[in-house]
Structure 1
Amino acid sequence: MAIPHSTWPAMSLGRLGFGAAQLGNLGRETTDDEARAAVDAAWDGGIRYFDTAPHYGLGLSESRLGAALADRRRDDYILSTKVGRLIVDDPGGVRRLDDEGFVVSGTKRRHWDLSRDGIRRSIDESLTRLGLDRVDIAYLHDPDARPSQALDEALPALIELRDQGVVRAVGAGMNQSAMIADFIRELPIDVVMLAGRFTLYEQTALDDLLPLALERGTGVVAAGVYNSGLLSSAVVSDDASYDYGPAPRPIIERVREIAAICARYGTDLPTVAAQFPLRHPAISSVVIGMRTASHVRSNIERLHAAIDPGLWSALADADVIPIELATQSTTISTEEASL
């Protein structure tokens, strides 16, 4: 049976969204004041799309984001969170920290649950942490090892919640494009979040997800656009990270070549990396993780920076990007960065 195109009316996410993983102490501690200042700076800069997850700091990101948005009119912003991992008590972890990259106490842990009841419980618990009565988008989070359960239980449970009006839109958020493409083929989901697979350096999603998303009318949010830090600095260091680990030497050398091309055209690597995904018509928004107000302001500046159109052609000539994406027009105005 043919799967119908999504009937979701595309939300105006804005060209730049606020990724709140760092509010969960990703990699190092973030203070409550830093978290609130970052959200305030995002709001002042026109950002109206905020993304979080229970996974981020064992619920800390959701709690901080909800507190920072508490005084904002709910209809003035869009918020997404994720399901698939429940946060449960773990009294035995009192003397250790979380072991999945967040500097938080190990007195809680993640428990995978993609059942219908688990999905509903996850939404309820997220709403409690956020202090909200609804979320706009719910993504199934990283179901890589559970594709059958994702298709048979978790995503249908999310679709049911959407149809009941509990959430406005549903989809999946992953670090791979192939499985997300499978989900779109099989189910009428609305929007997906793709991390790291459509960036200035790596564009594997061109082979499967992005053409299908255009065909089905499914929104795609690009995350991980700096490839775990590889593209986040104008000067690529010898210890740069890629895909959550140390970048191999050939990748570092290739990205240095890309950075040199950017410099010749009067801009820098992270500015081009932030803007590049928006050149594809399937991409609805770019979500970037931001820890502090200065991070927010620098990312907004990158999204609005003028780039010599000749750079895109030069990148295509160097086999960095496809030629068809070198000719896209993506002028970004202040209004487009907000709802």
Structure 2
Amino acid sequence: MPSFAAIVIAAFTWGIGYTFTSGATQAWLSDEIGEGNANALMLRVGVLQRYLGFLVIPLSVLLAFSSLQIPIVVGGIGFLSLAAFLMFTMPETNFRPHPHARQGVFAGMKATLLEALRFARDNATLRTVFIVTMVFGAASESFDRLWQVHLLNFGMPRLESLLGIVALSEAQSLLIGFAAINLSVTLVGLPLAQWTTRINAGDPRAVARALLLVTAGLGGSLVAFALSPNLTLAVVAYIAARVCRDVHGPLSGAWLNQRLEPSTRATVLSLNGQADAVGQIAGGPLIGALGNASLRLALLCGSGILAACLPLYNRASNLGTKDAHATD
């Protein structure tokens, strides 16, 4: 249904579903194979995703040649198939329900939420992590919403045909152009993703240092992207920013997953996802208003907001070390 109303309803439904699953995967893995193994696995999955990108991106382009809706529908069918598969095969050997769950589903949900909020209130490191997530969410709005129009303003090269055999429309030419950029992101990002697997995922300071480097690289790439004088430099800066952004996610997940209580792990991880959403909601209108005046200014504003994460990462790293000593 190519209508705006259908898109809004689908996005709303997707948001509800994502809220239920947000944090659940990491919590499940941590319960089943242990926190340290789960953190290391999340980093290795980042490498696997890049290898799969070499297959999935060209396949998506081929499907989209007929209709842009087809790859989206195929993706939805894939998620439904995965849900059905996990329903019958997903083990939960180490799951321990919250004691209040015996009083009913909603009583258990309320008790778990209150316990997670108390845990976050009493843990200085976790409070700092939530602040970092909100700041990162606000900063991400400029890049996530404006990168395509920024590249299009330079004028994407037009391909008249594919290998001189198949004539291409303007939309198909753009599709191939963006696919080529995303394939470049996958190729360039593979070594960096492999580097993250060599980080000691059980050491909060090591993960925080890696996040500090990746965030600094992302901020610098965003500045270069905003100020690029031509399409070539803009594409190079975009690829660098995407590479840093893609490895930031698994690193951030591993960083947060450390030292969480098993009984509230999924809820705390989900709350962190909501903190990201709050940051996006808060930063979106400001970025949008600046974007109406100047795309470059809006992109620079995003990189400026992102810079606030750097001292916060350092603070959280130091607090994490103190917490570890206190625990010992």
Normalised by the length of structure 1, the TM-score is 0.24
* Greater length-normalized contact order (CA 8 Å, ≥ 6 residues apart): 2
Per residue, is there more strand in 1 or in 2? 1
TM-score in terms of structure 2 length: 0.24
Instruction: Give the structure with the higher percent helix.
Output: 2
